[in-house]
Amino acid sequence: MLAQTRGILLLTLFLFAQFPLRSQITPEENNTCLKCHSAHSYSIYNEWTEQDQKRLMNPYYILDTMLLKAGVHHTFKCIDCHAYDYSTYPHNGDLKLEPMMTCIDCHGGDETYASYQFERIEEEFQKSIHFEKHSETFTCTKCHSQHYYKPTTRTSTNINEIVEFSNNMCLSCHNSNIDYQLISEETSPKLIEVHSWLPNQNLHFQRVRCIECHTEVHDTLLVSHHILPKAQATKNCIECHSTNSKLQASLYKYRNLVARSEDNNIISNEYYVIGAYRNKTLNYILLLILAGTLSGIIFHIACRTFRKK
């Protein structure tokens, strides 16, 4: 019964999404929810004392309206995903246990967005170390917020932004025991210590994604989701610091990216060796300095020969 209702709901949702209605940006109705869910405090009318009262909002339940607007699901009403009963406050306690739809419930077999290969991503994810060890608690939502998600690797033109967006997903949990311990009994290993063999750690974490070293690279999937056990992580410097860098097949895979960022020196040349900057302006400056020095020396010699005479 539940499954059927869900099915019908989903179908309606999808039909809606196909029609011009989708052009409306962030539905008005959401403001009633966001009045409370985007601020640090909210007001309720207390019938016992017959007064308005201000209270603090649980910080984890405060949504960022800018990120909501930028996210792929910004045309949704809150109650498309959450129960209609949330429209009243105090919320009904039973709602806390309401099962939420996952990415695959909606996007599995989704022809419209076939290019994302949702099913393959799910397959990959199910092979990952996270799912293997914690299949009950580890879901797509642990990395992708349904409120804010935006496929950055596909849409951004800026490598640094892509790396930051992607790494923040991992760091938000691996650097925070609060999130980590929702899944594991252990404390999160200190990433700085774990990667102490890697020189210039900060630079690496800013310039390469965690998944570069921690997943298998595929030709046909834009973002690999198969996170390997730590023993199989890349430790070999040559995989990236060589003319045939692994990064060409992963981080810099998206061909458009290459076209879009002609001037980004890291990828402008197929034979570029990572870590060795190739910067045209610098080349010119160097040439100028060289020319300057040479002419200086020639002038000097000329003067001396002239004087001798």
Nearer to ligand HEC, 57 or 258 (CB): 57
Applying CB under 6 A, among 173, 217, 257, 267 the residue interacting with ligand HEC is 173
- Amino acid code (one letter) for 170: C
String of contacts with ligand HEC for each residue 95-134, x by CB under 6 A: -x---xx-xxxxx-----x--x-x--xx--x---xx--x-
Of 166, 240, 158, nearest to 200 (Cα)? 240
Applying CB under 6 A, among 204, 216, 248, 258 the residue interacting with ligand HEC is 204
Applying CB under 6 A, among 8, 15, 114, 203 the residue interacting with ligand HEC is 203
Nearer to ligand HEC, 91 or 304 (CB): 91
Applying CB under 6 A, among 148, 164, 174, 268 the residue interacting with ligand HEC is 174
CA gyration radius for the chain? 27
Of 82, 124, 108, 88, nearest to 223 (Cα)? 124
296 binding ligand HEC? (CB under 6 A) = no
Nearer to ligand HEC, 104 or 258 (CB): 104
- Amino acid code (one letter) for 276: A
Please write down the long-range contacts of 124-132, taking CB distance under 8 Å and 24 or more positions apart.
124/221, 124/224, 124/225, 124/226, 125/225, 125/226, 127/226, 128/225, 128/226, 128/227, 128/228, 129/227, 129/228, 129/229, 129/230, 130/227
- The distance of closest approach from Cβ of residue 284 to ligand HEC in the complex, given in angstroms and rounded to an integer, is 20
String of contacts with ligand HEC for each residue 34-73, x by CB under 6 A: xxxx----x-x------------xx-xx-x----x---xx
32 binding ligand HEC? (CB under 6 A) = yes
The stretch near ligand HEC (CB under 6 A) out of 224-232, 256-264, 279-287, 293-301 is: 224-232
Of 217, 228, 297, 284, nearest to 252 (Cα)? 217
d(CA 127, CA 136): 14
284 binding ligand HEC? (CB under 6 A) = no
Applying CB under 6 A, among 6, 22, 127, 300 the residue interacting with ligand HEC is 22
- The distance of closest approach from Cβ of residue 261 to ligand HEC in the complex, given in angstroms and rounded to an integer, is 14
d(CA 162, CA 151): 9
> Taking CB under 6 A as the criterion, which residues in 131-150 touch ligand HEC?
133, 140-144, 146-147, 149
Applying CB under 6 A, among 159, 217, 240, 257 the residue interacting with ligand HEC is 240
Of 69, 68, 40, 75, nearest to 54 (Cα)? 40
Of 73, 217, 227, nearest to 138 (Cα)? 227
274 binding ligand HEC? (CB under 6 A) = yes
d(CA 261, CA 267): 8
218 binding ligand HEC? (CB under 6 A) = no
Burial, 218: exposed, middle or buried (Cβ in 10 Å; 0-12, 13-18, 19+)? middle
> Taking CB under 6 A as the criterion, which residues in 66-95 touch ligand HEC?
68, 72-73, 75-76, 78-82, 86-87, 89-91
Nearer to ligand HEC, 126 or 295 (CB): 126
- Residue 190, CA distances (Å) to 98, 186, 212, 309 in order: 35, 12, 19, 74
Contact assessment for residue 183 and residue 137, using Cβ atoms and an 8 Å cutoff: yes
Find how far residue 184's CA is from the centre of its chain: 22
- The distance of closest approach from Cβ of residue 5 to ligand HEC in the complex, given in angstroms and rounded to an integer, is 13
226 binding ligand HEC? (CB under 6 A) = no
254 binding ligand HEC? (CB under 6 A) = no
